[in-house]
Amino acid sequence: MSAAYRLIPQGRHADHLRLNPLISQTVSPYNLRMKAKLKPPPRFQLAMTPTPLEAFALSPDPRSGIEIFIKRDDQTGAELSGNKIRKLEFILYDAVARKTDTIITCGGTQSNHCRAAAAMAARIGLDCELIVKGRKPAVPDGNLLLDTLFGAKIKYITDTEYEANIANLMAKRAVALKKKGKRPYIIPEGASNSLGLWGYFLAGIELKKQLDKAGITVDYIACAVGSGGTYAGLYLASLYLNWPVKVQGFAVCRNTQFFVNRISGFFKRFLTDFDLKLKPVTTNIHIDDQYIGPGYAKIGEKEAKFIKGVAANAGIILDPAYTGKAMLGLFDHIVKGKIQSKSNVVFIHTGGLVSLFPYRKKLSG
């Protein structure tokens, strides 16, 4: 690991909060003083929220005075762990309300979203079909193993097919199921649509209440960006709360312009569908695409060393597809002075523990 990424204990909170949650009490996210009363759509309430907010024990440059906190959305549950369950609570409620019997969704072979969708489908009595990019392994591992245990039907396609045609492939499968008398429901990649955005719109409100309770002012929120829904929900929550915080995303696939366009589309549909009078600004969408590394869900020596270093020095597990790359990007921004000195940063830990196991060769060396 280069000198720039030495994992050095932080100062102010590190000693007395290293093993203790900063704020983890059960609170309602709806009783802040806001400019208009929210009317979220109905949802299943399965995620274990509010998730803890902790002081992170490490910094790439303690002299900067920048302190990092972690919002532990890796602790939303066990089989439902990670950020996707916040979105799926709304989407799957809608699916059941529409008398769906089969959900169709997509992702990588180690998709946290696919695993959470398959688990929740099994829990509420729906069939689940997954279209995943990647080769079928001889023996399933990690999230893919759990997908099979939850009874999901899995179709494997190439990365090229996925990127070029995944929406059409899901639509064609839905048509085929309808011809058989089934009632399918398509869930987009990462559960990112206008319904799914409510998950991180409310998570942003939850986070703000925790910070206010702790008396902490935060200047930046950092998160991985894989489908755009988590970022979009957090940004819209900051507007709703009149919260002057910069939301910094780190792309784990595709490029910056792709996500600016996609997230702008999410804004338009969400505000139209739910009649919220917010005014997002496209130039305030901050997505850095320089930390994708070898590709989506792929890691090289740099990423592997970083993940191992954080685990050994802080007891925090980052995953290869999302949080490992996003935290690496955050550290690089700090070292390069892209984050103002003496700022406070919240890093959204979106989960991914189970997806670590297929990378055992790269991570155990």
Using alpha carbons, select from 16, 17, 23, 40 the residue that is nearest to residue 208: 23
pLDDT greater at residue 357 or residue 24: 357
Asked if residue 304 lies in contact with residue 362, where contact means CB atoms within 8 angstroms, the answer is: yes
**How many CA atoms does the CB half-sphere of 164 hold within 13 Å?**
5
The pLDDT-based confidence of 69 (bands split at 50, 70, 90) is: very high
pLDDT of 20 over the 70 cut = no
Percent of the chain with pLDDT over 70: 90
Q: Which residues are CB-neighbours of 229 under 8 A, at least 6 positions away?
A: 87, 190, 191, 192, 193, 196, 197, 199, 200, 266
Q: Check whether 81 has a pLDDT greater than 60.
A: yes
Confidence band of 6 (pLDDT split at 50, 70, 90): low
Q: Where does residue 361 rank: exposed (0-12), middle (13-18), buried (19+ CB within 10 A)?
A: exposed
Q: What pLDDT is stored for residue 225 in this prediction?
A: 98
Q: Is the predicted pLDDT of residue 323 greater than 50, yes or no?
A: yes
CA-to-CA dists, residue 49 to 40, 74, 199, angstroms = 16, 11, 11
Please state, as a whole number, how many other Cβ atoms lie within 10 Å of the Cβ of residue 179: 8
| Structural domains of the chain, with CATH | 3-81+193-363 (3.40.50.1100), 84-191 (3.40.50.1100)
Residues 69 and 54: beta-carbon distance below 8 Å? yes
Rounded CA-CA distance 191/139 in Å is: 27
**Which among 127, 130, 103 is positioned nearest to 115, based on CA atoms?**
130
Known catalytic residue at 111: yes
The 10s digit of each residue's pLDDT in 200-255 is: 999 999 999 999 999 999 999 999 999 999 999 999 999 999 999 999 999 999 99
Helix (H, G, I), strand (E, B), or coil: what is residue 232?
Answer: helix
pLDDT at residue number 10:
58
In this model, does residue 157 exceed pLDDT 70? yes
In Å, the largest CA–CA distance within the chain is 64
Gap between the Cα atoms of 343 and 65, Å rounded: 7
Q: Which residues, in sequence order, are CB contacts of 57 under 8 Å at separation 6+? A: 9, 10, 14, 18, 313, 314, 315
What is the secondary structure of 249-300 as a DSSP string? EEESSS-HHHHHHHHHHHHHHHHHHHT------GGG-EEE-TT-TTBTTB--
What pLDDT was estimated at residue 3? 36
- Summary mean pLDDT of the chain: 91
Range 296-313 average pLDDT: 96
**Structure token digits, residue 175:** 């048509």
Question: Residues of the chain with pLDDT > 90: what percent?
Answer: 88
Pick the catalytic residue: 111, 192, 227, 355? Answer: 111
The Cα–Cα gap between 192 and 217 comes to 29
Say which DSSP state 341 is in: T
| Cβ burial 72-109 (10 Å sphere, 16+ → b, else e) | bbbbbbebbbbbbbbbbbbbbbbbbeeebebbbbbbbb
Q: Is the confidence at residue 9, as pLDDT, over 70?
A: no
